[in-house]
Amino acid sequence: MLERLRAAREVWVEVDGFRFLIRRPTDIQLAQWRELSPGEEPEPSRVLRRCLIAWEGVRELDVVPGGSADFAPFSVAVAVEWLEDRVELYSKVIDGVRAAVTAHAEALRGDEKN
């Protein structure tokens, strides 16, 4: 049941031919992150380390100059390091997390109205 619960918070974000699977942070995780920085959004790389859980279409040569054409196995540490050096990709993946959080908040508001 836990895996189904987590899967319900997952969404694929497609960016420039790559796909990144993110898991929307829980409301408590968001609150804890905001406690660390009141009035500010949580630090994006911290969010990615927690929310980024898979990728598709990423080859070793995309990540490492001179790498092979084989698909790269997912590693959150490698993914975050790589994305931090590719600002456009990084921003779009973070935007995907924000969109998932916003959609969840809107769904909760909709439930409260009904």
Buried b (16+ CB within 10 A) or exposed e, 16-31: eebebbbbbbeeeebe
The C-alpha atoms of residue 21 and residue 66 are separated, in whole angstroms, by: 26
pLDDT in tens, 32-77: 776 765 556 667 788 899 999 999 999 999 999 999 999 999 999 9
Query: 56 by DSSP, 3-state: which?
Result: strand
The values of phi and psi at residue 10, to 5°, are -95, 145
Q: Could you tell me the pTM of the whole model?
A: 0.85
Domain that holds residue 46: 2-113
Which residue, among 75, 34, 85, has the nearest Cα to 55 in the 3D structure? 75
Number of domains in the chain: 1
